Structure 1
Amino acid sequence: MSTEPDEAATELAPGAHVAVLRKERGWSQAKLARKALVSVSLLSKIEIGDRALTPVVAASVGQAMGISMAEVMGKPFVRRGERRSLDALRSALRDYDLPGSAPVLEDKLSADLCTAEEYRKRVDVARLLVVLPQLLRDATAHAHQENTPEAWMVLAETYSIVYWIAARHRWMDMAELAVTRQRWATEQQPNPLGSAVAARDRAGTYLNFGDIERGLTVVDRAICAAQQSLSGTDRDIAMGILNLRGMTLAGRLKDKREARREAERHIRSALAASQGMPRELEAYGLTVGPQNTFAHRFATLIDLGKPRDALALTEDIPTAMAGMPPTRVAPTHINAARAQLDIGDRDGALTNLTLAWDIAPQMARIHPMGREVFRVLGSLHQRSNARLLRLSKLSGIRL
């Protein structure tokens, strides 16, 4: 497989990338605005950096251009040292039914999976990409050799990690393949909770493509299945992770009245599921509980155009997210920066964006909204700012 970088990759922030995509097609701003059902004024502000490109608008632009929302946001460049690992991961994905013959030690496999999960939690993308190819091959061989529910779920969890890293980079072909393999693994031996996790990740691919309605259908079907097949803590975990995904999807529906109604439905269900959890619980690498419910509710309110309501949920994000992994804390600070930008609090937005970079720099580098908020802050600030200059060097986005 070629190790050449993806031609669709870009270091541009999403709003600036929209302008490039539009000009490649020879379209005027008026033509794109008309096709995407947005105002020319809004599109112009997004392209020059006076307004942030939101997921809802990105999905509309993608539909107008015939591409996915992920493609509108732009794929980050694969660094030279990462290309070999990426090729190895794609090769391991292809060989899902071609397990190696060498025996795999269960203790080593368990330890390697824990290492990969720790890299994911810390958002150490570089190290995660290095260990994933061999982990996937070992998990594949172990599942075929043992053919137990536990072995197949180790493989399914590994595929979930592959989905996570692919979705973060907007490698949507890999993300779709990973969730397909994940579901296949859960079906080899009955595991209702594993099926709920797989459905949650599958719905995530619809989220990244901007196909919100179908993503919600996947979630609702999985909720019905989990209600029928699970009980106790497993049922609470399934209801939690599925309704968290549901509220995120609902917040991005174009019809804002329907978005509010559907989001509230999933928020209520997620809150109900987390009420019996005194702390965050983990299942197959995912976290569910009061804090993660707060983080998702916070983000959903912002997507619904209610930044003040989101910020009113807490005045102290570090305390609200204490003990949560960087993979959840950093995006919450990015969302807070977006909300503060929406209400005109530029200094607060810059503070939260800086915190996100300090907590998880590798995530901030590839996070589309993090890059977009920084671009808008750089455009709006009329004077030199040391923190902006520092983030400019880290992000690779020029002021």
Structure 2
Amino acid sequence: MTIMDLAPGANLAVLRKEHGLTQRQLARLANVSESQLSKIEVGDRTLTPAVAAVLGEAMGLTMDQVLGRAPMDKREGLHLTALRSAIRDYDLPDRRSVPEGAVQTALVEAERCRSKVDVSALTVMLPRLLRDATVYAHAENTPTAWMALADVYSSVYWLAARHRWMDMAELAVARQRWAVEQQPNPLGAAVASRDRAGTYLNFGDIERGLTLVDRAIGEAQSTLSGDERDIAVGILNLRGMTLAGRLQDKKEAKREAERHIQSARDACQWMNREVRVHGLTVGPQNTFTHELATRVDLGNPRAALGLTDDLDRALSGMPPTRVAPTYINTARAQLDTGDKDAALASLTRAWEVAPQMARIHPMGREVLRVVSSLHKRSNPQLLKLSKMSRIAL
């Protein structure tokens, strides 16, 4: 059983013991060093997604099970039940009418919540919005109406993936693709493929995820043109570089990551600002944030930190959904270079920008665990973050 209020590395220790394995036995099964595993469990080293995937496989678990589900209170559980019911009724629209424009207005609000990482508000509104969008799509039967429904399912996927509710995430992307296919919509199909590839990322099934991304890029290049083609290709390459950075073969990982990084840069070279489409952001800044995270995953923290000497300026104008994870990844890189004070400062910045994101982000929780361990002695900032995250120092 996954312990929800434990950071990933601490959760790993619980799971290992539940499986009756010593550190030496698990290290051998996963082909990682016993020293590395020991440091992860005691909090001297972060448990990265790539390592979580191989350790999970050795225990017959998925990566998301090792990382652990995000904390959830009872009220969120009630809304989650209502959301599951709405997903189940995907082809059974309610017998009522939805006022013209109501779905689009609610979608704007959902995107605002997602952009600001107001997870609580999004959780509350999604069950009703999904039912309204289902009624609207079946009644109107237009590309716009079906894409609106697909966008709602994209937000459901985003919410589920953030919490590691992977059964819901997989169902959401299946429904998203189904909605897109009701009427021809190549750009919508690219967005759906991007989200579906995310489920492979969450499960640690990296190679299949990359196969899906490359196939979707080929489809986008053959069915789209102009700005829409560049937007679709850019979005897909962002997912591709993230996947590539987590390949086990680091030589292949670097090669594949560089390919997707360059392709993403090429796709957005005409954009002088970020483009927002179907709840996603594509452009030079978002390419930068993904490249920084990918270089950390590749084990090159100095290259990640060298991408900019002014992170605040580099992220200016970006939504909290991108700013907070970038500061978390910066903290990871700073830990890897031995700068625990800078890591704490970056982690604090992530919590200031998007506290709800930082609380449920697995690496945000893991970096906090390691930072607190390395500092040895608690300080006011660590105590504050501990209380907010529900992670004991």
Structure 2 counterpart of 1:319 = 313
Query: Does residue 1:132 correspond to 2:147, yes or no?
Result: no
**Does residue 273 of the first structure (1) align with residue 264 of the second (2)?**
no
Q: What amino acid is the match of 2:188?
A: G
Larger deviation: 45-54 or 62-71?
62-71
Amino acid in the other structure paired with 1:323: G
Per-residue deviation, residues 362-384 of structure 1 (Å, max 9, x unmatched) = 01101110111110011111333
Q: Match for 2:222 among 204, 221, 228?
A: 228
Which residue identity is paired with 1:328? R
Kindly indicate whether the alpha-carbon contact (under 8 Å) linking 1:353 and 1:374 is maintained by their aligned counterparts in 2. yes
- Give 3-state SS (helix, strand or coil) of 1:50's partner: coil
2:34 is equivalent to residue 40 of structure 1 = yes
Q: Tell me, what secondary structure is at the counterpart of 1:287?
A: strand
Deviation at 1:397?
A: 1.1
**Partner letter of residue 275 of structure 1?**
Q
1:187 to 1:9, Cα distance in 2 relative to 1, 3 A: farther
Question: Secondary structure of 2:276's partner?
Answer: strand
- Quote the offset at 1:77 in angstroms: 2.7
- Answering whether residue 188 of structure 2 is matched by residue 194 of structure 1, we say yes
1:210 Cα deviation from its structure 2 partner: 0.2
For residues 183 and 298 of structure 2, the distance between their equivalents in structure 1, rounded to whole angstroms, comes to 40
Question: CA separation in 2, counterparts of 1:88 and 1:12?
Answer: 27
Q: Is 1:370 equivalent to 2:370 in the alignment?
A: no
Following the alignment from structure 2 to structure 1, what is the Cα–Cα distance between the partners of residues 303 and 144? 43
SS of 1:106's partner is coil
Q: Distance in 2 between matches of 1:277 and 1:347?
A: 36
Q: Return 5+ residue gaps in structure 2 as ranges.
A: none
Paired letter, 1:53: L
Q: Deviations over 1:143-188 (max 9, x none)?
A: 0000000000000000000000000000000000000000000100
Give the structure 2 partner of residue 294 of structure 1: 288
| Larger mean Cα displacement after TM superposition, 216-225 or 377-386 | 377-386
Q: Deviations over 1:196-236 (max 9, x none)?
A: 00000000000000000000010000000000000011001
Q: Please say if residues 13 and 41 of structure 2, whose CA atoms lie closer than 8 Å, have aligned partners that are also in contact.
A: yes
Provide the C-alpha distance between the structure 1 equivalents of 2:251 and 2:71, rounded to a whole number of angstroms: 38
Distance 1:161 1:9 in 2: 26
Deviation at 1:391, TM superposition (A): 0.7
- How far off is 1:92 after superposition? 0.3
What is the rounded CA distance, in whole Å, between the counterparts of 1:359 and 1:320 in structure 2?
A: 15
* 8 Å contact from structure 1 (residues 9, 77) kept in 2: no
CA distance in 1, matches of 2:379, 2:2: 32
Q: How many residues align?
A: 393
Which one is further off, 69-78 or 242-251?
69-78
Cα distance in structure 1, aligned partners of 2:226 and 2:111 = 25
Matches of 2:193 and 2:33, distance apart in 1: 35
Contact 2:44 2:370 in 1 (8 A): yes
Alignment-mate amino acid for residue 70 of structure 2: P
Residue from 390, 393, 396 that aligns with 2:387: 393
Q: Which amino acid aligns with 2:55?
A: V
Letter in 1 for 2:360: I
Q: Residue in 1 aligned with 2:91?
A: 97
Runs ≥4 residues deviating over 3 A: none
Please tell me the residue identity of whatever aligns with 1:74. Answer: G
Q: Which runs of 5+ in 1 are unaligned?
A: 1-6
Where do 1:85-164 residues align within 5 Å? 85-164=79-158
Q: Normalization by structure 1: what TM-score?
A: 0.97
Task: Tell me if structure 2 keeps the 8 A contact 1:9–1:76.
Answer: no
Alpha carbons 1:281, 1:288 under 8 Å: kept = yes
Offset of 1:244 from its aligned partner? 0.3
State the Cα distance separating 1:90 from its structure 2 match.
0.3
Contact 2:2 2:15 in 1 (8 A): no
2:233 aligned residue: 239
The one-letter code of the counterpart of 1:160 is: S
Contact 2:2 2:11 (8 Å CA) reproduced: no
- The separation in 2 between residues aligned to 1:283 and 1:165, in whole angstroms, is 18
- CA separation in 1, counterparts of 2:166 and 2:190? 21
Q: CA RMSD in A?
A: 0.8
Q: Under a length normalisation based on structure 2, what TM-score does the superposition of the two structures give?
A: 0.99
The Cα of 1:9 is off from its aligned counterpart by: 4.9
Among candidates 294, 299, 304, match of residue 305 of structure 1: 299
Aligned AA for 2:356? Answer: Q
